[in-house]
Chains A and B, each alone.
Chain A
Amino acid sequence: MIVAEQKPVEEIRQVISPYEKVLLLGCGTCMTVCGAGGEQDVSFLHSALRLALTRGGGGSHSFLEYTVKRQCDFEFLDLIKDKVKEVDAILSLGCGIGVQVVAERFPDILVLPGINTSFMGMAKEWGVWDERCAACGDCRLAETAGICPITRCTKGMLNGPCAGTKNGKCEANKEMDCAWVLIYKRLERLQQLDKIRRYYPPRNFRVIPRPRRIVKKAEITTGGNNA
């Protein structure tokens, strides 16, 4: 799941200041789950912005709030096309993907981000989220006992641990587990310690040209039309 956090009210206020009527657009999927842009967060931001307005006294704004099921699909956005006509700008509380898809779907209206998309991760407990994946496109978790050193090691080392590990914690942050100690312990538990004795050559970052695209659809050249 994508994890994000809401931008400070002050910053949001500044980006929306030129626009009179703003649609606060939430997203009902990842942003709801990580508590950054679900219906409740939209409503909270709405209240906060209205309070900021009464305090700041600058200009008149009005807001609409709405939460779509998922901002990263055109079909869901089609449902709000009438609402969009009424407003001067959209403040998207979707992740970076959501903001861009909304912009692509409604090319004639400005879309502003209300959220800083942070990482892909999991909820550790209520109110705590941890990063787990860097979307490197070249998954090596089979070799590292299901623990990703790219994201969970501060240095992203492929051959660890480094000399900065101490009592199983990382030198960069004493609260944080050393990913490579975790990998070692788990391999030990799975009786696959031989895997840690291997050397993994550096990955070639150039093999990943951006933006990436996955085509699952097979290219059908003939006979596609029962011809």
Chain B
Amino acid sequence: MDNKVKNYRTSQTKKTRSWRTLIPPCQVACPLHMEIGEYVDLVAQGKVMEALQVIREGNPFPSICAYVCTHPCEDACRRSQVDKPIAIRALKRFAVEFGGDRAQLLEAETTQSEKVAVVGSGPAGLACAYYLRKLGYPVTIFEAYSEPGGMLRVGIPQYRLPRHVVDTEVQRLIQMGVEIKTNTRVISLDLLFDMGYKAIFLTVGAHQSLRMGIEGEDSPGVIDGATFLREVNLGLKPSLGERVGVVGGGNVAIDAARATVRLGSKKVSILYRRSRAEMPASPSEIEQALEEGVEIMFLVAPMKVKRADGRLDVTCVKMELGEPDAGGRRRPVPIPGSEFTIEFDTLITAIGQAPQLSEDFRLRIGRGSTIQVDPVTLTTNRLGVFAGGDAVTGPATVTQALASGRQAAFRIDDYLRHRYPRVEREAEPALLGELSARTIEMIRKVERLEPPLVPPEARTKEFTTVELIYDWESAVNEARRCLRCGMGAEILFQDKCATCLTCLRVCSYHVPYLDGGGNIQIPAEQCLACGICVAECPARAIILRKPYDRRHIDEELEHALKSATESKSKPLIIGFCCQYGLFGTGTLAGLWRESKAGIWIVPVFCVAKLEEGHVLQAFEMGAEGVFIAGCGEQCSRENTAFWVLQRVEKVKKVLSQVGLEPERLQTFNLRTVEMDVAEALDNFTEQIGRLCLASVIKQEVKS
């Protein structure tokens, strides 16, 4: 290509260099606003290291989230309108484990002089310390218990979050220069200021269990959930007896019940006053608890506890659901005369927790004993004191705490630098709207792949992790289910659009439509970014919001051809292979030839995005043969093979016109039973070799 043409081409595409993706719902739902679509896609491409890099950018402690995140992103996932949401948390766990997160070292330099104190070493405190350290502040964390980690250590049981994960993260913080003082309870904030700290981040958590307010609650044998879990997690083995009751329906109740099973109690019952639909605990936790033999008694509330002969007689009452309360859940109402008594050896109460704050802090306290803060700046009523985590929100999730810690770090930075708070604004617009019924109908249902679990019999014996990690192929295929919300097609050049209706006719999902004014619209919330219309648009007016279309293939092809011409191996064969399929079908190894074989693979994000020009260009640059390898049936989009074959026919016509045998272009299916791809590729190479020889002889004869 001569320079002029090249410059001309780039000047034409210059406008499209920046990404124009819309923020997908998963990212909006994530308290940390992680680029979920981005890393899920990278996992689908088999690029685990890159995926981890994206994860690390948005999350200070990805390995912790990979175990315990309650994944609000999965609740927001639009795939659930089709079948089931993407297993985002499990994919993150895969990326963290396979990408080698634990091996990464972090360093930070001290560039600021103002010391910051973080009170509490829970997720919010750790995150705040992490970001403050990155901003260059000297940070000290004060922790009342003997080990840092807060609820990560004393609240969450080991089978959900192994201790070594918390240890690694804490070690990394220490490496970054964060000072952690354990066994140090902060009793006065003034003292901290006197010690020279210029700002304080208060994140003491919510460790105080709420009382049920019933008779006999203080009897021996009744223990609150938070205390129980703390004792278990710090290594004690309280003796509970054979029959244990747990009151409550949240995650703490489930955690307590499952811990009790692991401590050897024979019969564990959860008493919950509403029904399963209202249970706030995460559904998968409930499911796993039931598998482990925990019994859940719904619509039951304890009324009275009586201690007799070393056991507890718990009088309960049956409930029914009445009118919805302010929170939208139906209020339980006792059924008169339905009282009954159950015998337990131990009763664990887990009906909620609240922060416990010293009066001496002189902080304004709000509902549920939480600290009142400005939601944007996290400032309290005292100058230089910021607060976050469960101490502000009441019991919430780890990810919310991390987000609040991060927010605090940036606001403390603003405060210490005497800046007006720079509140983050979403730079890109969010993707709104639901999938339409017409589109949903066309999306193939693909079963959600769950990571394997340790069987219930094995896991109730000890506190080891319940969930295992995906294998490579399942992770890639699970990630491929992603609908790629927000990166779909867009008519970039409205002035170029000839309203030829090609996009409307070729779309497998009925996404483009004609508006009342006779213009084509491609609604972003419907498009699944298969790229067929982009390649077919005769006016080239459509692009994908993320350059996964011809722009990406142009680059990859140029790169491959450059290395190919350098290596001079013969015969030169260019293979356009689906990047997702290479990993998802496990055929990458089969296609791998050493560079001397002359086979160069150009990865494409689905062969449907490959255009005739790319194939012609490969031949022009000296390729003797070209093959296109798609995923066939396994493709996550519809009709891609049809469009590939259309374009192949068009190219073959040109090939024969310029004196090249059409057999030099072939298509493979990466996933078929009938054909071994490696064998087919060998045959193809052989065939190309023969064709080359024949053409050389022909030329000899001519001359």
Please report A residues at the B interface, Cβ cutoff 8 Å.
8-10, 28-29, 32-33, 35, 38-41, 43-44, 46-48, 50-52, 54-56, 62-65, 67, 69, 123, 125-127
Contact = CB atoms under 8 A, between A and B. Distances in A.
Contacts of A43: 540, 613
B538 A47 contact: no
A214 B612 CA distance: 42
Given A9-B654, A48-B616, A51-B654, A32 B5 contact: no
A50 B1 contact: yes
A9 B612 contact: no
Nearest to B622: A54
Interface string B424-454: 0000000000000000000000000000000
14 contacts: A8-B657, A33-B499, A35-B500, A40-B540, A47-B613, A47-B616, A48-B657, A48-B658, A50-B1, A51-B654, A62-B2, A65-B8, A69-B495, A126-B505
Contact of B658 (A38, A52, A125, A126): A52
Given A39-B538, A64-B4, A44 B612 contact: yes
Contact of A54 (B5, B505, B620, B646): B620
Overall SS of chain A's interface: helix
Nearest to A12: B657
Interface in B348-400: none
B94 to A, nearest CB: 39
Contacts of A33: 498-500, 538
B501 interface: yes
A1 to B, nearest CB: 9
A35 B538 contact: yes
B674 to A, nearest CB: 29
A38 B498 contact: yes
Interface in B1-35: 1-2, 4-5, 8
Contacts of B660: 55
A225 B646 CA distance: 60
Interface residues of B, number: 34
A63 B6 CA distance: 10
Contacts of A38: 498, 500, 538-540
Contacts of B131: none
B520 to A, nearest CB: 12
B110 to A, nearest CB: 56
A54 B5 CA distance: 17
Contact of B616 (A32, A51, A62): A51
Contacts, number: 91
Contact of A44 (B495, B539, B613): B613
B659 interface: yes
B618 to A, nearest CB: 9
Contacts of B87: none
Contact of B538 (A41, A50, A56): A41
B619 A29 contact: no
Contacts of B500: 32-33, 35, 38, 123
A42 B646 CA distance: 18
Interface centre among B499, B540, B612 (most CB of A within 10 A): B540
Contacts of A65: 5, 8
Given A9-B654, A10-B657, A32-B538, A47 B617 contact: yes
B502 interface: yes
A9 B660 CA distance: 13
A64 B3 CA distance: 11
Nearest to B501: A123
A41 B500 CA distance: 14
A22 B508 CA distance: 38
Contacts of A52: 657-658
A43 B498 CA distance: 17
Contacts of A40: 536-540, 611
Given A9-B654, A50-B1, A64 B8 contact: yes
A69 B498 CA distance: 9
B538 A55 contact: no
Given A39-B539, A47-B620, A54-B620, A126 B2 contact: no
Contacts of B654: 9, 48, 51
B506 interface: yes
Given A32-B538, A44-B612, A44-B613, A51 B658 contact: yes
B408 to A, nearest CB: 52
Contacts of A63: 5
B461 interface: no
B657 A9 contact: yes
Given A51-B620, A64-B5, A29 B540 contact: no
B496 interface: yes
A22 to B, nearest CB: 11
A41 B498 CA distance: 14
